[in-house]
C-alpha cells in the first residue's frame, strides 16, 4: 500500500530535521520526502496538520509476560500497548518462564511475534542456564535462533570467574553483553535505596555501592577481555560518573536509564506506595540530576520504559512484599516529552534517546540491524503521528496494557500518539 502523510511536522533526530514536510511510503519504506504528486499515487492520504511525525520509538527493555505468564498478559495485549505509545521495535529481556536459554524457546517466541505482525521483537538470550549464574548457555546457537545479545536480566551477576568466562565466550564470537550492575552481596533483601527515606520508612536499604562496585568489576574485566558491554538501568550519580570515565578511557561501553529514574526520586515513595517499588530502586535528587546531566552530555545513550506488567496481587501488598517493576511502554513518548518540556530541552534532542540512540546500540550488538529510528528516504517506514498539544491522564481507562500499575497513575502527561505505522502499514490508530 502507498501512503501519503501530508502537512505533518517532521521531527527526525538522525537528520536533525524539524519542519513541515510530506512523507511518501511505498511498501515497507519511506520513498520520498515532499514527493512529486505526478509521480506518487497514494492509496491512502493522511492529513497530519497540527501533528508531529516522529520515528517509531525503540524501547530497550519491555517484558511481555510471555512465555510463562499468559494467564496474566499476552504478547498481543502488550504489543498493542506498545503500538499505542508509538513503540515499533522493542527488546525482550531473557527472564521469561522458562528462561530464554534454549534455541527452541527463542524460535517459538519469534514465531509468535511474527504471527501477530504488530511490532518487531528482539530477544536477549540468557548468559547462563536458567539465569542461575553457573553453566554458560550455547550463545552461538541462541544467536542463530534470533537473539541479538546476551543478558542476565535483573538477576545478580554470576561469580566473577563465571562472568569472565561469559565475556571471553562473547568476545570470541563478537557478541555483546547487556548487564545490570549490582553486587549481590550488597543488594541482599533491600527494597529501597539506602538513605534518609528508607531509614524513615523502616525499609531495608540497597546501598549505592551495590551498583558502583559491580561497575568497577565489570570495567576491570572488560579491560582484560575487550568485550562490548551495554549497561542497563544505571541509577546513581556515582554510576553515571564511572560510565563517563569508562567512555573517556575508550572502553566499548554504552548504557541506558529507565524513564522512571529520569522523573522520580525516593521521596516519591510517599506513604509506602508500592507503585514506586522498582528495580533498581529510586534514589535521591542528586542522582536524578546526574542522570539528566548524563543524558544531556551523551554519557547515557538511551531511555527505556523498563516495562514490567504486574497484577494486583503483586502490587496491592505492603511495600516490602511487592514485586518490583511497573508498566511504562505506552507512556514512553509522553514521559520523554514531559522531561524535555520540564528541562527546556528541544524535543529533537530528547527524541534521540528513544530513536537513533537505542538503534545505534542495537547496531553495535548486531551489525546487520536495520537503519530504523529515522525518517529518511530508504529507511523503514516506522513512524508515529503525535498530538503535542494534547494532555491526557494516566488511568485504567487510558492504558491498553493489562497491568495499570505505574508510578505515574493519575498523572497528566503531554503528547498523545494518534497513529502508529510499522513497516509501511497502519498498525494502530486511536479511535475518535
pLDDT digits (tens, 9 = 90+) for 244-265: 999 999 999 999 999 999 999 9
* Structure confidence at residue 72 as a pLDDT band (50, 70, 90): low
Q: Please choose, from the candidates 376, 377, 330, 378, the residue with its C-alpha nearest in 3D space to the C-alpha of residue 354.
A: 330
Mean pLDDT value across residues 211-225: 97
Q: Return the H-helix or E-strand segment holding 228.
A: strand 228-231
Cα–Cα distance, 282 to 268 (Å, whole number):
9
- pLDDT, residue 64, reads 87
- pLDDT, residue 178, reads 98
DSSP structure class, residue 307: B
* Structure confidence at residue 113 as a pLDDT band (50, 70, 90): confident
**Sheet architecture: strand order including 120-123:** 57-59, 87-92, 120-123
* Whole-model pTM over 0.85: yes
* Structure confidence at residue 334 as a pLDDT band (50, 70, 90): very high
- pLDDT, residue 39, reads 86
- pLDDT, residue 152, reads 96
- pLDDT, residue 76, reads 86
- pLDDT, residue 416, reads 97
Cα–Cα distance, 74 to 80 (Å, whole number):
10
| Domain regions of the chain by residue span | 2-53+379-429, 56-365
Cα–Cα distance, 79 to 64 (Å, whole number):
8
Among the residue ranges 16-25, 114-123, 304-313, the one predicted with the least confidence is 114-123
Mean pLDDT value across residues 32-46: 91
Question: How far is C-alpha 222 from the geometric centre of its chain's CA atoms?
Answer: 24
| Alpha-carbon distance values, 149 to 18, 123, 140, 224 (Å) | 33, 8, 10, 20
> Hey, is 237 helix, strand or coil?
helix
Cα–Cα distance, 377 to 330 (Å, whole number):
27
Q: Return the H-helix or E-strand segment holding 161.
A: helix 160-173
Cα–Cα distance, 321 to 243 (Å, whole number):
32
Q: Return the H-helix or E-strand segment holding 247.
A: helix 237-249
306 is known as an active-site residue: yes
Residue 204 has pLDDT above 60, yes or no: yes
Residue 376 has pLDDT above 80, yes or no: yes
Percent over 90 (pLDDT), the chain: 87
Cα–Cα distance, 336 to 96 (Å, whole number):
27
- pLDDT, residue 117, reads 81
**CATH 3.40.640.10: does it fit domain 56-365?**
no
Q: Are 290 and 241 in contact (CB under 8 A)?
A: yes
> Hey, is 105 helix, strand or coil?
helix
* Structure confidence at residue 402 as a pLDDT band (50, 70, 90): confident
153-177 tens-digit pLDDT: 999 899 999 999 999 999 999 999 9
Residue 66 has pLDDT above 80, yes or no: no
- pLDDT, residue 197, reads 96
- pLDDT, residue 65, reads 74
Q: Do domains 2-53+379-429 and 56-365 have the same CATH topology?
A: no
> Hey, is 122 helix, strand or coil?
strand
Percent over 70 (pLDDT), the chain: 98
Name the CATH code of domain 2-53+379-429 (choices 3.40.50.1860, 2.30.40.10, 3.30.2310.20, 3.40.309.10): 2.30.40.10
From 12, 95, 306, 382, active-site residue: 306
Cα–Cα distance, 309 to 81 (Å, whole number):
11
Q: How far apart are the first and last CA of the chain?
A: 24
- pLDDT, residue 322, reads 96
Q: Please choose, from the candidates 76, 57, 14, the residue with its C-alpha nearest in 3D space to the C-alpha of residue 385.
A: 57
Amino acid at each position: 500500500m502507498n501512503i501519503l502523510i501530508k502537512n505533518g511536522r517532521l521531527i527526525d533526530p538522525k537528520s536533525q530535521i524539524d519542519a513541515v514536510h510530506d512523507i511518501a511510503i511505498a511498501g515497507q519504506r519511506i520513498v520520498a520526502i515532499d514527493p512529486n504528486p505526478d509521480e506518487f499515487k497514494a492509496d491512502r492520504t493522511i492529513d497530519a496538520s497540527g501533528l508531529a511525525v516522529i520515528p517509531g520509538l525503540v524501547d530497550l527493555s519491555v517484558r511481555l509476560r510471555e512465555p510463562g505468564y499468559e494467564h496474566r498478559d499476552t504478547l498481543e495485549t502488550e504489543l498493542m500497548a506498545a503500538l499505542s505509545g508509538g513503540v515499533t521495535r522493542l527488546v525482550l529481556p531473557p527472564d521469561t518462564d522458562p528462561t530464554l536459554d534454549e534455541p527452541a524457546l527463542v524460535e517459538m517466541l519469534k514465531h509468535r511475534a511474527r504471527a501477530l505482525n504488530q511490532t518487531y521483537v528482539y530477544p536477549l538470550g540468557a548468559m547462563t542456564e536458567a539465569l542461575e549464574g553457573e553453566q554458560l548457555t550455547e550463545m552461538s546457537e541462541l544467536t542463530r535462533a534470533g537473539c541479538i545479545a546476551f543478558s542476565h536480566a535483573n538477576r545478580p551477576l554470576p561469580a566473577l570467574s563465571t562472568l569472565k568466562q561469559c565475556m571471553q565466550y562473547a568476545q570470541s564470537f563478537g557478541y555483546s553483553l547487556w548487564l545490570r550492575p549490582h553486587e549481590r552481596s550488597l543488594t541482599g533483601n533491600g527494597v529501597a535505596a539506602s538513605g534518609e527515606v528508607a531509614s524513615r520508612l523502616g525499609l531495608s536499604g540497597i546501598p549505592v555501592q551495590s551498583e558502583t562496585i559491580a561497575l568497577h568489576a565489570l570495567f576491570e574485566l572488560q579491560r582484560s577481555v575487550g568485550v562490548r558491554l551495554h549497561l542497563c538501568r544505571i541509577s546513581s550519580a556515582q554510576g553515571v560518573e564511572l560510565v563517563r570515565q569508562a567512555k573517556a578511557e575508550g572502553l566499548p561501553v554504552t548504557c541506558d536509564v529507565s524513564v522512571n529514574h529520569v522523573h522520580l526520586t525516593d521521596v516519591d515513595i510517599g506513604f509506602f506506595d508500592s507503585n514506586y517499588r522498582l528495580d533498581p530502586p529510586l534514589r535521591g535528587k542528586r542522582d536524578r540530576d546526574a542522570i539528566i546531566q548524563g543524558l544531556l552530555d551523551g554519557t547515557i545513550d538511551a531511555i527505556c520504559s523498563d516495562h514490567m506488567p504486574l497484577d494486583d496481587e503483586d502490587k496491592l501488598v505492603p511495600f516490602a512484599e511487592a514485586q518490583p517493576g511497573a508498566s511504562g511502554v505506552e507512556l514512553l513518548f509522553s514521559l520523554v516529552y514531559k522531561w524535555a518540556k520540564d528541562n527546556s530541552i528541544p524535543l529533537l534532542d530528547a527524541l534521540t534517546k528513544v530513536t537513533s540512540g537505542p538503534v545505534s546500540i542495537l547496531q553495535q550488538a548486531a551489525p546487520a540491524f536495520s537503519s530504523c529510528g529515522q525518517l529518511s528516504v530508504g529507511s523503514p517506514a516506522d513512524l508515529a503521528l503525535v498530538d503535542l498539544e494534547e494532555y491526557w491522564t494516566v488511568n485504567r481507562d487510558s492504558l491498553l496494557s493489562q497491568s495499570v500499575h505505574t508510578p505515574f497513575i493519575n498523572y497528566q502527561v503531554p503528547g498523545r500518539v494518534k497513529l502508529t505505522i510499522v513497516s509501511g502499514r497502519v498498525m494502530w490508530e486511536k479511535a475518535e
